[in-house]
Structure 1
Amino acid sequence: MATGDQSKKRKQHYRPQNRPVKKKGAYPLKPGVQGFFISCDGGREFQASQEAINVIDSFFEELMHGIDSKAKPGLFDNPINKKVTFSYSEDEDEDEDGDGEEDESNDAEEEENKGDGEKKEVTEGSDSQVIEKELASEGSCGVKSLVETEAEKDKVDEEKQKNGVDEPPRKKACMEEANPLAKVNENAEKSIDKLIEAELKELGDKSKRRFMKLDPGCNGLVFIQMKRRDGDPSPKDIAQHAMTSAAATKKHMSRFILRLLPIEVSCYPSEEEISRAIKPLVEQYFPVETSNPRKFAVLYGARANTGLDRMKIINTIAKSIPAPHKVDLSNPEMSIVVEIVKTVCLIGVVEKYKELAKYNLRQLTSTN
């Protein structure tokens, strides 16, 4: 007799050769991405990531299609269910009035002829006999004509059958003419179904998603990657629009999100990599030839990495900014955010960092 432990045999799982192992959960954070660096309550990373995608997507749609546009323009310009009102013409009204007058004249003539009914029956007795004979003759002629027409139709049908000619399908054509909107409705339904299927495929395909969560590997942190396309606003524009609208409306937009920072460049945390990766940001926000020099400050933060020198990273970024622009730690116009998470350095540029509560959504929307 086998014991219970020996009877339960474990299944052996074999790894297929030359195939990567599929990892469950979000993809890890790596250099070369851009998006949004979000802090949240510890243990609420999953809820914060789902919430952040919805919040960021809503502000992205506002920038793309306007603030008050909740639906895409042109979607309901030609609705299928449309209220139709009928207007009657003046000719039809005149015809109706004319019919009423004729009915009144006929009623008057009948009332006048009621008293003279006996005289007409006596005096016009002979005429009535003549009229009955004429009607009988007309009836016989009508019957004859009907019989003749039916006989002609039978002859024509026999000739067609002999010649092998069939009648055209008139009923089907009439039905198609009577229901012209049937084909339009079928085509509309097919096009809507195709659009829904395409959208579902796009949502299921992770490569076509605009916003996707990545795992930074630290407690209380979330990173939302943005796959930017041509004509899309930058993460800086989306984050700044979200903070300004939150400060103006004081409307609660999130439950788990604390701070939302835009990230436009990511690289390995070394001085050479940082100085090379920050060049496009310097050319975009801190041009050499400008009549309006900016005051800037460098904001440094590190998580799960203690092997880097804080001042070396800050000096590397400050030296890459050209001369017309100056450092001002008390009242900067632009702030360069540097967040180091394990072996990834995230860099972004924000405006009015202190005025907008350090880009903290919870503080901006709190009424206390």
Structure 2
Amino acid sequence: MAAENKANNASNDPKKRKRCYLPHNKPVRKKGPSPIRPGVQGFFITCDGGREFQAAQEAINVIDSFFEELINGKESSSKVAVTLEKPINKKIKFTYSDSDEEENDDDNDEEEDKKSVAPPEDSGNNGSSVEKISDHADKAVQADEVGPGNGGSKDADKEPTEVKSKENEEPPEKKQCSDVKSSESGNTGVATTELSVDKLIEAELKELGDKTKRRFSKLDTGCNGVVFILMRRRDGDPSPTDIVQHIMESAASTKKHMSRFLLRVLPVELSCYTSDEEISRAIKPLVEQHFPADAETPIKFAVQYDARANTGIERMKVIDAIAKSVPSCHKVDLKNPEKTIIAQVVKTVCMISVVDKYKELAKYNLRELTS
């Protein structure tokens, strides 16, 4: 009896979890960010252990703000030039002042008509003034009768065309209504009106919700204290090295605290598998960009290597593979290098980049630069 009561109580308990069985021969979907893989660009970031989630959110905000600064800095000169061309003083018209302006215009027109029609004040010359007015009227009638081909004046030719154009034009309110109606009818030949603000906001929210369209997103490294931010680079965007260089220089100059959990922020220009052949093949375009073979003055460089969650590859093999790919005209200087080649190995992925002023900027450590 006791066993039956326990079984009944267990079946009636709503808090007890139901048994779940895995599907046969099907992979289990893992929740969270996708793992890091070769062929990606972005930012390799170290942080305090156990604070990876907070550091990832903070890193995205910091990188995005400095990315916008770089973009706006490039476009600032063109914006200033455009604004200077426009006049500074502008005439502002209000809807409630239209009636007042119309009344003032009518009064001015009436005064001008009176001045033009009124005879001169001299009472003695009334006859001569009447004759002059009649002569002017006769000349105006003759000018009207003469056509454009008979040597008529330009003003007489322009007046009828201007009147026709004014009659054909519609008032602004009618034009707006016709545009709205044409857009609602859905005719393909008519240009559609601009989207409203609500629709633009909805489109932007959809783009932010789609993870594949985000410019910066997080990838899972599988290591404690390490965060990787993926950058989907578009045409005209600055490289990760430019963004990190801008962050470090501003931090060194202002000494302003930018983050709470971030330590080192390193750019990643390329990534590949950790093997001698893969590294020497993938690093060729990066070496050609930073270390040209026909350089007049040799460039001093050094290789900085770190590995995490990987004990199967030797340290010197990776360093030799990177150093041999650099042309022989350039020299190795470990004390005062002009450029530093950074190689970060996480599991089976090697991430490589070339940076300037590595030691001068505290090895790209934000906390040391701002402290």
Give the TM-score category using the shorter length.
Answer: 0.5 to 0.7
Equivalent-residue separation in structure 2 for 1:68 and 1:242 (angstroms): 19
1:107-148 CA-to-partner distances (Å, cap 9, x unmatched) read xxxxxxxxxxxxxxxxxxxxxxxxxxxxxxxxxxxxxxxxxx
Equivalent-residue separation in structure 2 for 1:54 and 1:334 (angstroms): 28
1:115 corresponds to which residue?
none
Residue of 19, 32, 37 corresponding to 1:25: 32
- 1:243-322 matched pairs, under 5 angstroms: 243-322=248-327
| Secondary structure of the structure 2 residue equivalent to 1:329 | coil
Residue of 87, 93, 97 corresponding to 1:84: 93
1:169 corresponds to which residue?
none
The number of residue pairs the alignment matches comes to: 283
In 2 relative to 1, CA 276–7 (structure 1 residues): closer, same or farther, beyond 3 Å? Answer: same
2:333 corresponds to which residue?
328
1:210 corresponds to which residue?
215
Q: Is structure 2 residue 272 aligned with structure 1 residue 230?
A: no
**Offset at residue 268 of structure 1 (A):** 1.3
Q: Is structure 2 residue 348 aligned with structure 1 residue 343?
A: yes
Unaligned runs of 5+ in 2: 112-169, 185-191
- 1:124-203 matched pairs, under 5 angstroms: 190-203=195-208
- The TM-score, its normalising length taken from structure 2, stands at 0.67
Code of the aligned partner of 1:199 = E
| Secondary structure of the structure 1 residue equivalent to 2:196 | helix
2:362 corresponds to which residue?
357
Equivalent-residue separation in structure 2 for 1:280 and 1:189 (angstroms): 44
In 2 relative to 1, CA 68–358 (structure 1 residues): closer, same or farther, beyond 3 Å? Answer: farther
1:46 corresponds to which residue?
53
Contact kept? 1:282, 1:320, Cα under 8 Å = yes
Code of the aligned partner of 2:50 = G
| Secondary structure of the structure 1 residue equivalent to 2:235 | coil
Quote the RMSD (CA, aligned, Å).
3.5
Q: Point out the structure with max Rg over C-alpha.
A: 1
| Structure 1 runs (4+) greater than 3 angstroms displaced | 4-10, 12-21, 82-97, 176-180, 186-190
2:226 corresponds to which residue?
221
1:3-22 CA-to-partner distances (Å, cap 9, x unmatched) read 13455575343556786533
Residue of 57, 69, 90 corresponding to 1:62: 69
Equivalent-residue separation in structure 2 for 1:338 and 1:188 (angstroms): 52
Unaligned runs of 5+ in 1: 98-172
Contact kept? 1:250, 1:364, Cα under 8 Å = yes
**Offset at residue 263 of structure 1 (A):** 0.6
1:114 corresponds to which residue?
none
**Offset at residue 265 of structure 1 (A):** 1.2
Code of the aligned partner of 2:57 = Q
Equivalent-residue separation in structure 1 for 2:231 and 2:175 (angstroms): 52
Contact kept? 1:296, 1:328, Cα under 8 Å = yes
In 2 relative to 1, CA 11–177 (structure 1 residues): closer, same or farther, beyond 3 Å? Answer: same
In 2 relative to 1, CA 310–42 (structure 1 residues): closer, same or farther, beyond 3 Å? Answer: same
Contact kept? 1:338, 1:345, Cα under 8 Å = yes
In 2 relative to 1, CA 359–251 (structure 1 residues): closer, same or farther, beyond 3 Å? Answer: same
2:160 corresponds to which residue?
none
Equivalent-residue separation in structure 2 for 1:228 and 1:55 (angstroms): 17
Equivalent-residue separation in structure 1 for 2:25 and 2:253 (angstroms): 55
Equivalent-residue separation in structure 1 for 2:261 and 2:202 (angstroms): 32
Contact kept? 1:269, 1:340, Cα under 8 Å = yes
Equivalent-residue separation in structure 1 for 2:75 and 2:366 (angstroms): 21
Code of the aligned partner of 2:52 = E
Q: Is structure 2 residue 39 aligned with structure 1 residue 36?
A: no
Equivalent-residue separation in structure 1 for 2:289 and 2:297 (angstroms): 14
In 2 relative to 1, CA 231–18 (structure 1 residues): closer, same or farther, beyond 3 Å? Answer: farther
> Share of identical aligned residues, percent?
66
**Offset at residue 293 of structure 1 (A):** 2.5
Equivalent-residue separation in structure 2 for 1:292 and 1:191 (angstroms): 57
Contact kept? 1:334, 1:349, Cα under 8 Å = yes
**Offset at residue 346 of structure 1 (A):** 1.1
Query: Which has the larger displacement, 342-351 or 18-27?
Result: 18-27
Contact kept? 1:257, 1:362, Cα under 8 Å = yes
Equivalent-residue separation in structure 2 for 1:260 and 1:29 (angstroms): 17
| Secondary structure of the structure 2 residue equivalent to 1:251 | coil
